[in-house]
Amino acid sequence: MRKRVYIVYTGGTIGMRRTKDGYQPDSGSLQAQMAEMPELRHASMPSYDIHEYRPLLDSSNMTPREWIAIARDIEAQYERYDGFVVLHGTDTMAYTASALPFLLGGLRKPVIITGSQIPLCEIRNDARENLITSLMLAASYAIPEVCLYFGGKLLRGCRATKVSADGFAAFDSPNFPPLGTVGIDIDVNWDLVRKPRGAAKLDVPELARPVVSALRLFPGISPELVRNVLRPPLQGLVLEAYGVGNGPDQDAAFLDVLADAAARGVVIVDCTQCLEGSVDLGEYAAGSALARAGVVSGFDLTAEAALAKLYYLFGRGYKPERVKKEMQKDLRGELTLRA
Ligand code: ASP
């Protein structure tokens, strides 16, 4: 029996067409091109159904509403298919790949998010390989995780980040090894793949619409700006700090603004601006001052995963104390807890 894959087609370069304003999503054209690809009719390939979203989006227009729509869509089709491929723009792919693991509780089938830097309609493109390999992974590799496949790397979704604006190797997961690499062979590192946990049923929770945000520190950032960001109704903030999580500890007004917000119940999560490595708030005075102000460590979470996790936890209606606790735990393989 041929395996069956459900393709969630949200938009992105992969299916775009050239217009006078640059590349734009174009309804139906991806399906027409896929129908012309003999490789997709090969006996070793799965059969597939495509659900095209209306409107197709450049992923720069994605919001958490779309994350939830994708999760609900997968939930509705879950029993009918062996695996799922989400076609998505690369710009915010790492955010969606970070959010879906939290939204798809109890996942036991592969969900592979992919896209491309050059559309399928162009002669030279990376779309063809990303698409074919993602379909194979979703159909025939029992990886019960949300993954991002791109440019020969299979990454855990909630560890992935976009590292190149124009290269074919556009994604990486600097704080976690790839779950697989694709060259002559498809090599999955099964030791790294998470075992399914919890109830055998897929569980997509009802979520409220929390207010969370992200702020990148820069030299000279004013306490006023930080105060404005932290104003109600904000519930959670990803603070992208320097190095191992440091900030300007000589600026008392800056620290006061943070302490004031933390005391009101705003959960402020410290992530590093560095591509690689972990926050350690105890290493420098410039970090421990933030901890004293009530900022919590995001360890080696990517900023994308920290934002998605905050959204999920507050979305579930958890109180700030619970959110802080859960932020310090590894829920879906998103962070490394030191022994
Ligand atoms: N702007 C496009 C998008 O994110 C870029 C891409 O798909 O590569 O939808």
Where is the domain boundary, 120, 153, 188? 188
Shared domain for 135 and 258, answered yes or no, is no
The minimum-distance atom of ligand 1 relative to the CA of 93 is: 4
pLDDT per residue as tens, the chain (339 positions): 899 999 999 999 999 999 999 999 999 999 999 999 999 999 999 999 999 999 999 999 999 999 999 999 999 999 999 999 999 999 999 999 999 999 999 999 999 999 999 999 999 999 999 999 999 999 999 999 999 999 999 999 999 999 999 999 999 999 999 999 999 999 999 999 999 877 789 999 999 999 999 999 999 999 999 999 999 999 999 999 999 999 999 999 999 999 999 999 999 999 999 999 999 999 998 899 999 999 999 999 999 999 999 999 999 999 999 999 999 999 999 999 876
What's this model's pTM, rounded to 2 decimal places? Answer: 0.97
Predicted local confidence at residue 17, as pLDDT: 92
**Does residue 194 lie within any of the structural domains?**
no
Shared domain for 165 and 70, answered yes or no, is yes
Shared domain for 76 and 114, answered yes or no, is yes
Shared domain for 162 and 244, answered yes or no, is no
For the domain that residue 323 is a member of, what is the CATH number? 3.40.50.40
What is the domain extent for residue 74? 4-188
Distance 23 CA to ligand 1 centre (A): 9
Distance 30 CA to ligand 1 centre (A): 15
Shared domain for 182 and 278, answered yes or no, is no
Domain count, the chain: 2
**Does residue 286 lie within any of the structural domains?**
yes
**Candidate from 9, 10, 13 with most ligand 1 atoms within 8 A of CB, to mutate:** 13
Shared domain for 141 and 244, answered yes or no, is no
How far apart are the C-alpha atoms of 194 and 231, rounded to whole Å?
A: 38
Q: Which residues line ligand 1 (CB under 6 A)?
A: 11-13, 58-60, 89-91, 115, 117
**Does residue 301 lie within any of the structural domains?**
yes
How far apart are the C-alpha atoms of 118 and 15, rounded to whole Å?
A: 9
Predicted local confidence at residue 339, as pLDDT: 66
**Does residue 197 lie within any of the structural domains?**
no
Please, are residues 158 and 133 in contact by the beta-carbon 8 Å criterion? no
Shared domain for 159 and 235, answered yes or no, is no
**Does residue 339 lie within any of the structural domains?**
no
Single out the residue of 145, 150, 138 nearest to residue 13, CA to CA: 150
**Does residue 130 lie within any of the structural domains?**
yes
Long-range contacts of residues 314-321, Cβ cutoff 8 Å, at least 24 apart: 314/208, 314/210, 314/211, 314/212, 314/235, 314/236, 314/267, 315/64, 315/205, 315/207, 315/208, 315/209, 315/210, 316/205, 316/207, 316/208, 317/208, 319/265, 320/235, 320/265, 320/266, 320/267
Shared domain for 148 and 225, answered yes or no, is no
**Does residue 200 lie within any of the structural domains?**
no
Phi-psi region of 40 (alpha: psi -120 to 50; beta: other; left: phi over 0): alpha
Distance 298 CA to ligand 1 centre (A): 28
Shared domain for 255 and 184, answered yes or no, is no
Catalytic residues, which ones? 13
Shared domain for 130 and 239, answered yes or no, is no
Which tokens in the block code for residue 235? 């519930």
Predicted local confidence at residue 200, as pLDDT: 81
Concatenating the DSSP letter of every residue in 24-82 gives EE-TTHHHHHHHT-GGGGSTTSPEEEEEEEEEEE-GGG--HHHHHHHHHHHHHHGGG-S
